[in-house]
């Protein structure tokens, strides 16, 4: 229940400026009551702590000597004395009064403190001592104060005081809340003076109400006391004087109504917290709604991702298939390239053979020169055909056979005109075969061109080159026809058949 401030003496300290209004009422009320009784007296403030009580007593005119075990506490209430409450450094009867509020429970042997108080207070002096009632403060209210070394019940407290003071009067103290109604005078002020008739109206019991943990709903009157305040004296007259001034009850009037102010502050804080909670609730609902929307969107995206994965798998399979097809085409192109290289070698051989024919056929020099020029053209054309049309390998073989026939014909012509005529006949037959072969190759080239166009869009260029090759072949056919006619004419001149 009490907030603690650690200091050099490892003691519990109450600071009015930092603690709440309820604790201020508890602690300050006791010193305010003592200040009203001890003006002008020599007073020992035992366990002065933070020094607020010493200041109250001095303000009322008391000559106060504060004593505390903690050096820092003594400095707060200078001039003061540092010492132990169980062995006070003062002579017997030194003080007119001693106050010891909420201190004896902090020592392991509280009776030694009471004995020392009784020793230093004069025979006609008084002592005001307070302590929490263990049965109410701890057992009922549930307080567990680790600074309290020895707590007493009200009966134990009274018995201990009676062993050292002949006269003891016990008062109960507790903070309470209620409402105040008083008659007002013509100026609107409540009645002045100590003599007042006070009536008490009890609030009807409410089982649902939250009550203070120490309150006893079965008992009537004012609240159950948490603390016991004792007025002690060895002289009955001294006690009677104090009791006459105290009366039966004392109420601490707080002009600033700090408890109510704190309640209002708490209510405002709770209202602000409720508004924040409502705002957070709305925000949470909004977040939940957005989360649901996001979850729905995520589910949709997951479905879309699954579809994309399926499409990607299908496309990947298609890509693999196309890659295999492309690999097959590349293999075929490689084969055709190798075949074209073979054709190039064969053309080179033909060139060598033609050169030999030129040496042996001087009489056909001009024809050989024309043939050589045409062969060079054919070689260039064959090279183009080798690069562009792999499928025309069979046709090239036919051209090679025809070139061999031409070689034989030229050889025969170099020996005899009759051989030339016979060779011309052979050439006619070979030309017929070549024409048939060329037609077959043309059909095959057309089929190949159609297949290339269907499988690969890039084959358009190859088809154009095939067309040019076909045109060249026709041109070659025409050339061979002209050559054949020229041979017939030349043979006729040799034989004298023509002019």
pLDDT at 49 over 70: yes
> Do 248 and 343 fall within a single domain?
no
**Cα torsion angle, 294, 296, 299, 301, sign:** negative
Q: How large is the average pLDDT for residues 203-228?
A: 65
> Do 250 and 104 fall within a single domain?
yes
> Do 223 and 127 fall within a single domain?
yes
pLDDT at 6 over 50: no
CATH number, residue 133? 3.40.50.150
Looking up tokens 């019991």 gives 205
Residues with Cβ < 8 Å from 254, sequence gap 6 or more?
Answer: 21, 25
pLDDT at 181 over 80: no
pLDDT for position 134: 93
At residue 251, the 3 state secondary structure works out as coil
> Do 350 and 249 fall within a single domain?
no
Cβ proximity of 424 and 488 under 8 Å: yes
pLDDT single digits (tens) 97-123: 999 999 999 999 999 999 999 999 999
Cβ proximity of 235 and 146 under 8 Å: no
Cβ proximity of 109 and 97 under 8 Å: no
Is residue 215 situated within a structural domain?
A: yes
Question: Confidence class of residue 80 from pLDDT cuts 50, 70 and 90?
Answer: confident
Q: How large is the average pLDDT for residues 407-428?
A: 65
> Do 347 and 473 fall within a single domain?
yes
pLDDT at 4 over 50: no
Whether omega for the bond prior to residue 79 falls within 30 degrees of 0, making it cis, is: yes
Is residue 153 situated within a structural domain?
A: yes
Is residue 317 situated within a structural domain?
A: no
Is residue 226 situated within a structural domain?
A: yes
Residue 43's DSSP bridge partners are 64, 97
What Å distances lie between residue 224 and 30, 158, 164, 219, 480, CA to CA?
17, 17, 27, 8, 141
Cβ proximity of 25 and 2 under 8 Å: no
Cβ proximity of 239 and 231 under 8 Å: yes
User: Within its chain, how far is the Cα of 383 from the centroid?
Assistant: 71
Q: How large is the average pLDDT for residues 44-48?
A: 90
> Do 341 and 228 fall within a single domain?
no
Residue, of 405 and 355, whose pLDDT is higher: 405
Residues with Cβ < 8 Å from 128, sequence gap 6 or more?
Answer: 30, 33, 34, 37, 97, 98, 99, 100, 101, 229, 230, 231, 232
Residue among 114, 111, 109 at smallest CA distance from 98 = 114
> Do 341 and 251 fall within a single domain?
no
pLDDT at 206 over 60: no
**Cα torsion angle, 442, 444, 447, 451, sign:** negative
Domain that holds residue 151: 21-177+210-255
Question: Confidence class of residue 96 from pLDDT cuts 50, 70 and 90?
Answer: very high
> Do 437 and 347 fall within a single domain?
yes
pLDDT for position 2: 37
> Do 228 and 371 fall within a single domain?
no
pLDDT at 61 over 80: yes
Alpha-carbon distance of 2 to 419, in angstroms, equals 144
pLDDT for position 200: 57
Alpha-carbon distance of 17 to 264, in angstroms, equals 19
Residue 133's DSSP bridge partners are 152
> Do 251 and 340 fall within a single domain?
no
pLDDT single digits (tens) 7-28: 333 446 655 555 455 556 676 7
246 is written with which tokens? 């105290």
pLDDT for position 214: 61
Is residue 322 situated within a structural domain?
A: no
Is residue 404 situated within a structural domain?
A: yes
pLDDT for position 121: 96
> Do 237 and 339 fall within a single domain?
no
pLDDT for position 460: 66
Within 10 A of 491 (CB to CB), how many other CB atoms are there? Answer: 18
pLDDT for position 221: 56
Question: Confidence class of residue 480 from pLDDT cuts 50, 70 and 90?
Answer: confident
Residue among 155, 154, 149 at smallest CA distance from 131 = 154
Residue, of 413 and 479, whose pLDDT is higher: 479
Mean pLDDT lowest among 72-76, 258-262, 387-391, 400-404: 258-262
Alpha-carbon distance of 152 to 160, in angstroms, equals 10
**Cα torsion angle, 304, 308, 314, 318, sign:** positive
Is residue 292 situated within a structural domain?
A: no
> Do strands 81-82 and 167-173 pair parallel, antiparallel, or not at all (unpaired)?
unpaired
> Which residues of 330-412 form beta strands (DSSP E)?
none
Residue 452's DSSP bridge partners are none
Q: How large is the average pLDDT for residues 436-443?
A: 78
Alpha-carbon distance of 311 to 296, in angstroms, equals 23
Whether omega for the bond prior to residue 225 falls within 30 degrees of 0, making it cis, is: no
> Do 107 and 216 fall within a single domain?
yes
Q: How large is the average pLDDT for residues 80-97?
A: 93
415 is written with which tokens? 């020996």
Alpha-carbon distance of 392 to 399, in angstroms, equals 11
Is residue 107 situated within a structural domain?
A: yes
Alpha-carbon distance of 175 to 219, in angstroms, equals 16
Mean pLDDT lowest among 5-14, 196-205, 315-324, 340-349: 5-14
From 225, 255, 285, give the residue that closes a domain. 255
Within 10 A of 225 (CB to CB), how many other CB atoms are there? Answer: 18
pLDDT at 492 over 90: no
DSSP state string for 185-217? -TTS-PPPSS-------PPPP-TTS---TT--T
Q: What is the total count of domains within the chain?
A: 2
pLDDT single digits (tens) 241-300: 988 887 766 665 555 555 555 555 656 767 778 788 888 888 888 888 888 888 888 888
From 255, 275, 308, give the residue that closes a domain. 255
**Rg of the chain in Å (alpha carbons):** 66
Residue among 5, 13, 25, 12 at smallest CA distance from 262 = 25
pLDDT single digits (tens) 451-470: 766 777 666 676 677 778 77
475 is written with which tokens? 């041109």
Percent of the chain clearing pLDDT 90 (strictly above):
21
Looking up tokens 């069979």 gives 394
Percent of the chain clearing pLDDT 70 (strictly above):
66
Average pLDDT, the chain: 77
User: Within its chain, how far is the Cα of 327 from the centroid?
Assistant: 51
Alpha-carbon distance of 488 to 429, in angstroms, equals 14
């Amino acid at each position: 229940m009490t907030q603690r401030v650690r200091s050099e003496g490892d003691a519990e300290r109450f600071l009015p400026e930092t603690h709440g209004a309820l604790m201020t009422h508890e602690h300050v009320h006791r010193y305010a009551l003592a200040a009203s009784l001890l003006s002008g007296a020599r007073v020992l403030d035992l366990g002065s702590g933070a020094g607020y009580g010493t200041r109250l007593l001095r303000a009322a005119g008391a000559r106060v000597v504060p004593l505390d075990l903690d050096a820092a506490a003594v400095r707060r209430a200078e001039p003061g004395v540092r010492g132990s409450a169980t062995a006070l450094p003062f002579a017997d009867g030194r003080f007119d009064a001693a106050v010891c509020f909420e201190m004896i429970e902090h020592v392991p042997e509280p009776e030694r403190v009471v004995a020392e108080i009784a020793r230093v207070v004069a025979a006609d002096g008084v002592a005001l001592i307070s302590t929490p009632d263990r049965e109410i403060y701890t057992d009922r209210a549930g307080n567990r104060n680790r600074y309290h070394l020895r707590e007493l019940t009200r009966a134990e407290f009274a018995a201990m005081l009676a062993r050292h003071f002949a006269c003891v009067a016990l008062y109960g103290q507790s903070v309470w809340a209620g409402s105040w109604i008083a008659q007002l005078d013509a100026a609107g002020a409540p009645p002045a003076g100590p003599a007042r008739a006070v009536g008490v109206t009890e609030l009807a019991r409410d089982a649902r109400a939250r009550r203070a943990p120490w309150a006893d709903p079965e008992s009537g009157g004012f609240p159950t006391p948490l603390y016991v305040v004792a007025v002690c004296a060895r002289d009955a007259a001294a006690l009677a004087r104090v009791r006459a001034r105290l009366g039966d009850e004392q109420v601490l009037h707080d002009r600033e109504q700090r408890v109510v102010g704190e309640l209002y502050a708490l209510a405002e804080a709770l209202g602000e917290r409720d508004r924040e909670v409502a705002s957070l609730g709305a925000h949470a609902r909004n977040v939940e709604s957005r989360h649901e929307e996001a979850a729905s969107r995520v589910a949709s995206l997951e479905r879309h991702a699954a579809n994309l994965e399926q499409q990607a798998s299908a496309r990947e399979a298609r890509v693999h298939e196309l890659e295999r097809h492309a690999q097959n085409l590349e293999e075929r192109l490689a084969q055709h390239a190798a075949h074209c290289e073979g054709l190039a070698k064969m053309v080179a051989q033909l060139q060598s053979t033609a050169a030999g024919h030129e040496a042996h056929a001087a009489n056909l020099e001009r024809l050989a020169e024309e043939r050589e020029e045409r062969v060079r053209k054919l070689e260039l054309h064959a090279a183009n055909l080798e690069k562009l049309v792999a499928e025309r390998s069979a046709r090239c073989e036919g051209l090679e056979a025809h070139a061999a026939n031409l070689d034989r014909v030229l050889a025969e012509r170099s020996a005899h005109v009759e051989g030339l005529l016979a060779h011309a006949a052979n050439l006619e037959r070979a030309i017929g075969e070549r024409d048939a072969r060329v037609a077959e190759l043309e059909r095959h080239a057309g089929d190949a061109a159609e297949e290339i166009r269907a499988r690969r869009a890039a084959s358009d260029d190859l088809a154009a080159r095939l067309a040019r090759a076909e045109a060249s072949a026709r041109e070659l056919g025409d050339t061979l026809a002209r050559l054949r006619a020229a041979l017939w004419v030349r043979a006729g001149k040799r034989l004298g058949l023509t002019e």
